[in-house]
Amino acid sequence: MVEKTKAYIAGFLDGDGSIFLQLVRRKDYIFGFQVRASLVFYQKKSQKKILRWLIHKLRRGYLRDRNDGMSEYTIVGFKYVREVLEEVEPYLILKRKQAKLALRIISRLEGVNITSGFLLRIAKEVDKFAKLNYSKKRVNNIAILRKFFQQNASVPVSTDSR
């Protein structure tokens, strides 16, 4: 991708996008939660053409129309989010802290055997996104994860949450 395109996409992400790392409840996971990475670009449905252009340039993710007149282009997964962020991070201004934090967390998670203690340490890092993104709806955090581990004795728990 040419530098000008990377810079444009970074500006779009800064203004009309979000970088998310979230703890998501998953009943089919041994520790009950997963860390999900995603990038989302927003635009009015009438301006959806620019989101199609982004899909063409980034070659990953999906587009959906919301019921409130908005469209979202979403990229999910460590690999894809990392690849996009590595391309655009040098050009980000408003979301540079989120991008650097996301890249740091993703690099720690990729190819690692997850333990309860490790998940607690990562959850502490993921919780930083609530402040960086001014999150009001975030439900799952390190406290919920600890409570889950305490209530589910079959899950091996480490209290080390550095």
Q: What's the pLDDT score for residue 54?
A: 97
The pLDDT, as a whole number, for residue 123 is 93
- Helix 116-126 with 96-109: angle, nearest 10 deg: 170
pLDDT one digit per residue (tens) for the chain, 162 residues: 999 999 999 999 999 999 999 999 988 888 889 999 999 999 999 999 999 999 999 999 999 999 999 999 999 999 999 999 999 999 999 999 999 999 999 999 988 888 888 999 999 999 988 778 876 677 898 888 988 888 886 655 444 434
Of 15, 61, 65, 160, which is the active-site residue? 15
Global confidence as pTM: 0.87
Please tell me the predicted confidence (pLDDT) of residue 90: 97
* Exposure class string for 111-141: b at 16+ Cβ within 10 A, else e: eeeeebbbbbbbbebbbebeeebeeeebebb
pLDDT at position 3: 96
Q: Where are the domains of the chain?
A: 3-151
Q: Answer for the pair 135, 129: CB distance below 8 angstroms, yes or no.
A: yes
- C-beta separation of 92 from 99 below 8 A: yes
What's residue 154's pLDDT?
Answer: 60
Catalytic residue, chosen from 14, 16, 77, 117, is 16
Q: Is 1 helix (H, G, I), strand (E, B) or coil?
A: coil
Domain 3-151 indexed as CATH 1.20.140.10: no
The residues, ordered by sequence, that sit 6+ positions from 32 with a Cβ below 8 Å of its Cβ are: 25, 26, 145, 148, 149, 152, 155
Establish whether 16 is a catalytic residue: yes
CA 60/CA 46 separation, integer angstroms: 22
DSSP secondary structure of 105-162:
HHHHHTT----HHHHHHHHHHHTHHHHHTT-SS----HHHHHHHHHH-TTS-------
